[in-house]
Structure 1
Amino acid sequence: MSARALWRRAATLRVFTSSPCRLVNTSQHLSLEWNHGKVQEEEKSETVQEPPSAETAEGSSLVYNPSAYYQSRAECSDIQRGPVKEEETTQPVPSAGFRQQSNHYMVGSSRHLSIDKNGRLDLAFNPAVDDKGHKFNNSKDEVSTYIKRDTRAFQKCRPEYSVMTYDVSQRLPAIQIKDGLLLLHKAALMKNIDSSNVACFICELGHVEPEQTAIIRGNTRFSMLLRYSVENLQHFTHVQLIEVLRAFVRLGLSHHHSILDSYEAEFSRRTCELELHQLLLVADLWRSLGRSVPQYVDKLCDCISKHFNQMGPPELVQFVYILGESRQCPAFVLECLEGIIMHHLDELKGEEVGAVCLGLFKTQNSLSDRALRRLVDRACVVVKEITDFGIVNVMKLMRFSHLDHLRWLEILSSEVPRRAPQMAVQGLMHIALTCSALHYRDENVLLAVAKYLPHLPSQYRSKDAAKLLWAFGNLGILPSQCPNFHPRLTEALRDRESEFRSYPEHLLTALLGLAFVGQFPHDLLSLALSPEFTNQVTGIIDLKKDLFTLDGTVAIELPGWTGPRMNPTVQDEVTKQLWDFAQSELCQKPEVLEAEAVLQELLGGQEFVHKRMILPHMRSIDLEVHLDLRGNPLPVTSETYQNHYHPEKGSCWPLDWKEMNTGVTLTDDLLVQLTSGKKTAMPKTVSIQRPILRPVVASAKRERILNVGVDLTDDLMHAITKRQERSTIRGHDASSSAIAQLAVQVTSRNHYCYRTQRLTGLYAMKRRQLALAGYTVVEVPHWEWFPLLRRSLAERLAYMHCKIFSSFDSKNRK
């Protein structure tokens, strides 16, 4: 518990051990004498267990302990944010039709930001002393990093919000606690109390000073008044019912209170009778009370369609905000909302744009690609008036929708360095994480984030440190570019080690991000691979895959590792799961199937190409090819190869490359296609149909070589015709048993940073590990291979021949 929280708790206890305590005692005594004992002391309707009664200095006992109702700063923040949901610890982000196609073999499942549960770790997960005796520094600076945001700032943009929202800052004329107790006494003495009197009493009690509301909530007569309100629920007018709910908010009634079930049911029944502003106000009061009301929100969504024509910008933004705080938005409502958002888009102010983005993000829904681009276009126009929190909200929606809005991203290149010095850790983390999700590598943005991050490790949650390390590692920002970044966040992980018991995914996320850039903290790796931690995460498939990736990385990159390792049985289980999925998904991609077929045609059959996961922990497939020292292909899948080729015995595959029917016959048709020249005259007795050449307009400079054919150089002619055997490679005898192991990789856009040829963290690490395992990587990039899929087979064969043997020659020249 922080020093500030302790001070507030002590101050509260001092208040309740003074004169108000005697007032509580007196009021409870009067309640037992009312109406000749007909009214018995009500059972407490709070679901929270009360502590034993304490003795005051004067010796009188307190039946109710007001401090049990007092909300800490953390709890108040949680209530302002809305009810906490439990399902988002490892829940993947739902896909949308226009998003980047998800890849189950990317290490990303545990990188999805949870929206509620992990939004802010309570101090309960940060005990003052952990099991190892590390003391956390819960200073004022640390707490301040968690509260630099205002989810309701948009409501200050227009005065119209006042009729449909609860203003926390509104100060009504307050009444003293003694007047509140007299009201309770008066209510207790009344006979045949009706609905209007009940509503009046509760609303008046809502004016008690906030510091004294715990005394009212703890009074037995207040519990009886609540019971009378339930008995008169159906007799309340709409206005009375809403004002009673507003009074509950002012009194700080617990959102767990059992009486609220009846109120939610009554409001749900009346949704079709309420006006638009009343519907939105009721939803906002429930949010302010901190109670999740799915039944009411369902009814609200069912009847909101008849009010769509009444929605202006404030009503629209408030409705989206309510849906976001409720974490629900039916599909039919979203379709209508898109049209309304587009209709009022040009009227939205900066903070309202941010609120709409945050609401959509929290509902885990998104708009169409066109509508999203227009929404972010509007954000670009009003970017100067958007707060830091609003900018982060736009980034969240872009991350969820995987929207590559280039203009907005370019604006960030100047906005983030300007805003970063005053931004909190969480905001900087969200910006870096969005750049990572979009594969957008902008060093101006990322290095500004690294520069202005707080220097004290205690100011980070484990989640913040993990996501930052993941983002920077995924985008390939090396430790040499920001020397203090990785050590600072690694130390923050050590300080927050106790949080990994509740959030194990954060440790795996951080360690994988560090591994991407070649950083391996041995103490944290030992913790992640320990039997206790392994047993904790193996029940969650996504975390089990992440742990498998980390374990395989340790095996290859730390050959002298003596620490714990993943259970071999679990390794085999995960490997089987990954391969089963690969066979049904990755292995069936058209570009992979075509590359496999071309290689088989080029090398002489299926036994010379093995489609498999060379490194199973990397969750991706390769086309494995083996060549001997003369460049002859060797089988990699057949039993014949296993029987006849034993490197340890010095025996090679008996057949020579040129003896196999595996080369490409250099016909006149092939020459025409390769050179884009004219076909030479053929004898009339020979009938050969010329393949149709379909020119493809180059989409980029690097594809120009493919749109007009391949220049037929002497080297290419020699490589294609294979008229002479390859010469013995430098100093190696032809009978040597060494072989070249090639890993052919057909890449996609997911493998690279946005609009670059720089591999993202996982695939860069895979290339590094393949090299350590003795493989030469042959990259077949999408910008070269995909255009060739629309060309002739001869061109694909020539392209693949150049790729394979140029890689082979390059390897042997080293």
Structure 2
Amino acid sequence: MYGLFIKPRLDAGGLKAVRLMAASVMSRRGPRLRYLPGLRRDFTKAQRVPVQQKNETDDQERNKGVLQHQESSPQGEYRLYYNRSSYHRSVSHSATSRRQTANDEKEKDLSTLAPSFGQQSNHSNVSSSQPLSSSKNTFLDLAFNECPEPEMPSASQRHSEPTQPDVGKVRPSFRRYRPEYDSMTRNRRQRHTIKWEEALGLLQDVALLGERMKPSDVSQFLVELSSLQKDYLSLLQSEQGFTMLLEYSVKTLRLFDETQLLQSLQSFVWLHMPLEHNIFRLYEAELNRRASQMSLHQLLFAADLWLCIWEQKQVPHDQQVPQFLQHVYDSVSLHLKQIGAPELVQLLYIIGESRHCPKHLFPSIEWLLMLHLHQLYPDEVGAVCLGLFKSKISISEHAATCIVDKAHSFVEEMSNFALVNVMKHIRFNYIYHKMWLQALAQEVPRRANMGVMGLMHVALACSSLHHKNDKILMTIAEKFPSMEPHCRLKDASKLLWAFGTLRFLPHQSPSFYPSLKRALRSKKDEFQQYPEHLLTALLGLAYVSQLPKDLSELTLSPEFVNIAWNFPQHDLKKDLFTLDETVARELPEWRVPRLSRELREEVTDTLWRLAQSDVCLKPDVLEAESHLQDLLGGEQFVCKRMILPHTRSIDLEVHLDSNKQPIPLSPENLSSKCPSDQGWGGMNVGVNLTEDLLAQLIHTKNTRESLTPSPTVKPMSLHGVEPDKGVRRFDTELDLDSDFIETPTKPRSQGSGPRNSEGTVKLAIQVPSRNHYCLPSQELMGLHVLKRRQLKLAGYRLVILEPWEWFPLLKKSKDAKLAYLHSKVKSSQQ
């Protein structure tokens, strides 16, 4: 009946339904073909003589043969069963069944000629395809307020808009700059919508034409139906006429030209087809087959459509990238001369959203960036930064800095979204760009309406760069309480970490930390799923002495420790250790659980091994250790160790008795035991007898003379030592104390054991780097403030070899270094 049936396999109920449908079609006053130009006038002829081109007729004959073969074989590969429930996937559909389906589908061969389908009436299973793997499209990590119109909003309009919560998805704003993007992305412009009655008319036309439809007709039907009002999409997908149209689209898949193929795929995007639908696997296979024949714009367009599909279905980031994207990446080297500014931006957008970029592409991308950077518009720079950040593309420091230079040149014109993306780029590449950060101090207060996620990323980037600007921090702190209802667990934890790391104190904004704690407690049901966020938040609170007892007790509970200790995505052991020791040392009155001794020792050993291969070998530390040993009389008087292992850094420990004389160190007179290989020779108190030491023991006078300035020479002075640019001058004048110089060279009586701890002064001599401080100030970062606080609680006096004092001395004479160390140790006793 006018090509309605294609060898259907129907039971009695299904046959009755089809007959009723056919009767309904025949009772209409006339066929509704107004959507297909030229077909109305040929309809009479079409009833008697099929209108087919030669190649289409041949293809239908081939498909007919394939259909007969598959119907006779239980192993027919491409078969689509109609099932309403497949378009209304249950939320409770288990991950196990999805994985099993995916494994079954992997065994199928995608190389068979365009398939046909056997249709059963209301069968209860739909053959599920292998899940198309990639990442959830999170191109909008914050809500920006610009509308996607071609013209840019003025700065005054942008900054005066009310605060909006960070919800919803917005079209990437960079596409409004150039018309070239219309041929590389799904086009939202000039889309009209049709009513349900019109959609039913189109389905009737599908039924009337049946197998006589050309590939262009199938594509046009899909395009028209994709304009249906959203409220009716699920109803459309449950219509049997729509299922038949999908069958025809697969039968003619190999006959589509590239434009028709992409139009059909775009229609599936607008129709919100379920990702599990078998048709996506077939279309991906066809795109893979044609990738080498497609133009650059067609490749980018197809890739953009896949991103839209993943965005709608929220495919996890860690799934494998579809094979088609690999074809897109492989084609870049073949189309280098065709890649202009818009093509480069769209390519980086796709790379970023797929979270993957082959390493062989890194040099080409950097070359293209340097070639076209001067042509980019403000939000295009933001899109570039986001693509580089999400895909972790490593480019040179010069190229990364040039991108920030370009962003700084029109920072006031950038959208909130683009500005935040530049901050992500800076954080990933660790670029301390002074001019950009200065401009940020002016822009953030004017853009406080960017939403909690945007403000979080700004704060996180500042903390990663150690950049403390009270103007930026105060803006965020004052704005956050009004945004608390829209705060995610991730936002709260990273804000707490950033502000704690930068030492933003509670009295600076009394409502800020209480508001963040409330937001944190409101997400308790997510703690087990995201334990890293809870630990991050509590460490940030610990840095500013704001630890809440209830959350600390929960975090150190055996159940949570077991989850965090064995968490596969992140190594959380060091964070647990730091939190555990902080609670024990600073809040001993709390009756909260503790990590077991075995767990603490495991992390301590790990941290010490890392320290031995890193900080223990730094020249500034080795120089301080060596000269302190010379000053105090030998290596037995200086122990290089992790006094507080949970603070993840080392100190040079020195003990002095009540007479200000150094005491040999041994495990018995150290405040806490260390791994056996810490310090010097397993803490042995024996001294290696060297020629230098022997000369000191025998010729004390000569030793004194060698260290004391000659009468004819001006006494040693550190006045005017030139520090590095931008740091405070160390301006003092010191003479060597002859009593102190004599003390370490006096031989001790044989067999003298450790002195009584009563009256002993324990010194923790620290050699911090500039990374321990906020920039551009000399304020300590949160972790190092916590460490010094806890060292004092443990009974240590701190001796700080400030980097702006000690580093310039590394280039000076040994006498200058000894004089400086002498003054530091001596001043600690006062």
Query: 2:819 corresponds to which residue?
Result: 798
CA distance, structure 1, for counterparts of residue 416 and residue 268 of structure 2: 33
**In structure 2, which of residues 81, 92, 101 is the aligned counterpart of residue 42 of structure 1?**
81
Provide the secondary structure at the position in 1 that maps to 2:572. helix
* 2:355–2:391 CA contact under 8 A, matched in 1: yes
Alpha-carbon distance in 2 for matches of 1:641, 1:215: 76
SS at the partner of 2:798?
strand
Alignment of 1:536-685 (within 5 A): 536-540=563-567, 542-637=571-666, 665-667=703-705, 671=709
Determine if the alignment matches structure 1 residue 531 to structure 2 residue 558.
Answer: yes
Aligned: 1:748 with 2:787: no
Counterpart of 2:527 (choices 473, 490, 500) is 500
Specify which of 252, 259, 263 is matched with residue 283 of structure 2.
Answer: 263
The 10-residue stretch of structure 1 (787-796 or 695-704) with the greater mean CA deviation from structure 2: 695-704
Corresponding residue SS for 1:534: helix
Which residue of structure 2 aligns with residue 363 of structure 1?
A: 391
2:819 paired with 1:787: no
Larger Rg belongs to: 2
Cα distance change, pair 33–699 in 1 and its aligned pair in 2 (3 A): same
Q: Secondary structure at the match of 2:467?
A: coil
Contact 1:47 1:258 in 2 (8 A): no
Kindly indicate whether residue 440 of structure 2 is the aligned counterpart of residue 412 of structure 1. Answer: yes
- 5 Å matches for 1:230-249? 230-249=250-269
Taking structure 2 as the reference length, the TM-score comes to 0.73
Task: Assess if the C-alpha contact under 8 Å between 2:164 and 2:450 holds in 1.
Answer: no
Partner deviation per Cα, 1:647-667 (whole Å, 9 max, x = no partner): xxxxxx999xx9899999454
SS of match in other structure, 1:379: helix
Q: Secondary structure at the match of 2:509?
A: coil
Q: Deviation per CA, 1:277-297, whole angstroms, max 9, x where unpaired?
A: 111111111112226753122
Moved more, 567-576 or 465-474: 567-576
Determine the C-alpha separation between the residues in 2 that align with 1:736 and 1:206. 83
The counterpart of 2:467, out of the listed 427, 440, 464, is 440
Q: Is the 8 A contact 1:663 1:720 kept in 2?
A: no
CA distance in 2 between partners of 1:586 and 1:673 (Å) = 40
Report the counterpart of residue 300 of structure 2 in structure 1: 280
- Residues 141 and 454 in structure 2, CA contact (< 8 A), matched pair in contact too: no
8 Å CA contact 1:399–1:434 kept in 2: the answer is: yes
| Structure-2 separation of matches of 1:268 and 1:41 | 21
Q: How far 1:274 sits from its partner (Å)?
A: 1.2
Report Cα offsets for 1:614-667 as digits up to 9, x if no partner. 11111111111111111111122367999xxxxxxxxxx999xx9899999454
- Give the aligned partner of residue 233 of structure 2: 213
Residue 95 (structure 1) aligns with = none
CA distance in 2, matches of 1:247, 1:472: 47
1:392-403 aligned at under 5 Å gives the runs 392-403=420-431
Kept after mapping to 1: 8 A contact 2:383/2:421: yes
Indicate how the Cα distance of structure 1 residues 486 and 698 shifts in structure 2: closer, same or farther if over 3 A, else same: closer
Separation in 2, partners of 1:185, 1:64: 25
Q: Aligned to 2:765, what secondary structure does the other structure show?
A: strand
The equivalent residue for 2:174 is: 154
**Superposition map of 1:106-145 within 5 A:** 145=165
Q: Which residues of structure 1 form unaligned runs of 5+?
A: 1-24, 53-61, 69-78, 86-114, 122-141, 643-652, 679-692, 726-733
Q: Tell me: CA distance 1:778–1:491, structure 2 relative to 1, closer, same or farther (3 Å).
A: same
Q: 1:311 to 1:157 in 2, by over 3 A?
A: same
Matched to 2:578, the amino acid is T
Residue 583 of structure 1 deviates from its aligned partner by 2.4
1:762 to 768, 783, 808: 783
Give the residue type in structure 2 aligned to 1:283: A
Match for 2:813: what amino acid?
S
Q: Is the 8 A contact 1:150 1:389 kept in 2?
A: no
Residue 344 of structure 1 deviates from its aligned partner by: 2.1
1:561–1:677 CA distance, 2 compared to 1 (3 A): closer
Whole-angstrom distance in 1 between the partners of 2:583 and 2:628: 33
Please report how far the alpha carbon of residue 466 of structure 1 lies from its aligned counterpart in structure 2 after TM superposition.
1.1
Is 2:346 the partner of 1:318?
A: yes
Deviation of residue 456 (structure 1)?
A: 6.0
Q: Match for 1:372: what amino acid?
A: A
Provide the rounded CA distance (Å) in 1 between the counterparts of 2:363 and 2:785.
Answer: 41
Match of 2:454 among 411, 427, 431: 427
CA distance in 1 between counterparts of 2:699 and 2:273 reads 84
Q: Distance in 2 between matches of 1:208 and 1:174?
A: 5
Q: 2:405 matched to 1:377?
A: yes
Structure 2 residue corresponding to 1:479, chosen from 479, 483, 506: 506
Identify if the C-alpha distance between structure 1 residues 504 and 184 changes in structure 2 by more than 3 Å, giving closer, same or farther.
Answer: farther
Residues in 1 aligned to 2:697 and 2:632: alpha-carbon distance in whole angstroms: 12
> Secondary structure at the residue paired with 1:337?
helix
Task: Name the SS for the 1:502 alignment partner.
Answer: coil
d(CA) in 1 for partners of 2:264 and 2:246? 10
Is the CA contact 1:195–1:236 (under 8 Å) kept in the aligned structure 2?
A: yes
Structure-2 separation of matches of 1:673 and 1:217: 101
Q: Do the aligned residues in 2 keep the contact of 1:31 with 1:221 (CA within 8 Å)?
A: no
Alignment CA distance shift 1:198-1:677 (3 Å): same
Work out the CA distance in 2 between the residues paired with 1:404 and 1:701. 15
1:516-559 deviation per Cα after TM superposition (whole angstroms, max 9, x unaligned): 01112111111111111111101136212111100100011002
- Contact 1:45–1:223 at 8 Å: present in 2 too? no
Measure, in 2, the Cα distance between the counterparts of 1:159 and 1:120.
25
Partner deviation per Cα, 1:731-778 (whole Å, 9 max, x = no partner): xxx988221111111111221112322110000110000001101121
**Counterpart code for 1:364:** K
- Cα shift readout 1:365-389 (whole Å, capped 9, x = no counterpart): 2432112222111111211211111
The AA in structure 2 aligned to 1:272 is S
Distance 1:594 1:806, change over 3 A: same
User: How much identity, in percent, do the aligned residues show?
Assistant: 43
- In structure 2, the CA distance between the partners of 1:367 and 1:47, relative to structure 1 (3 Å rule), is farther
Taking the aligned partners of 1:202 and 1:245, their CA distance within structure 2 comes to: 9
Structure 2 residues without counterparts, runs of 5 or longer: 1-15, 26-67, 72-78, 92-120, 127-131, 144-161, 316-320, 672-684, 688-695, 747-754
Check the 8 A contact 1:720/1:798 in 2, yes or no.
Answer: no
What amino acid is the match of 1:760?
A: M
Range with greater deviation from structure 2 (633-642 or 488-497) = 633-642
**1:75-107 deviation per Cα after TM superposition (whole angstroms, max 9, x unaligned):** xxxx9xx9546xxxxxxxxxxxxxxxxxxxxxx
Q: Which residue of 2 aligns with 1:510?
A: 537
Q: Amino acid of the residue matched to residue 805 of structure 2?
A: E
Is residue 746–residue 780 contact of structure 1 (8 Å, CA) maintained in 2? Answer: yes
Partner Cα distance (1:664, 1:294) in 2: 78
1:436–1:702 CA distance, 2 compared to 1 (3 A):
closer
Shift of 1:600: 2.1
Question: Using the alignment, how far apart are the partners of 1:662 and 1:255 within structure 2?
Answer: 86
Asked if structure 1 preserves the Cα contact closer than 8 Å seen for 2:142 and 2:451, the reply is no
Once the 2 structures are TM-superposed, how far is the Cα of residue 391 of structure 1 from its aligned partner? 1.0
Work out the CA distance in 2 between the residues paired with 1:702 and 1:573. Answer: 39
**1:775 alignment counterpart:** 796
Secondary structure (helix, strand or coil) at the match of 2:566 reads coil
For residues 507 and 635 of structure 1, the distance between their equivalents in structure 2, rounded to whole angstroms, comes to 43
Secondary structure of the residue aligned to 1:441 is coil
Shift of residue 716, structure 1, vs aligned partner:
4.5
Cα contact 2:139–2:353 (8 A) shared by 1: no
- Number of the residue aligned with 1:125: none
Q: In 1, Cα distance between the equivalents of 2:606 and 2:436?
A: 40
Distance 1:504 1:437 in 2: 21
SS at match of 1:625: strand
Separation (CA, whole Å) in 1 of partners of 2:653 and 2:701? 19
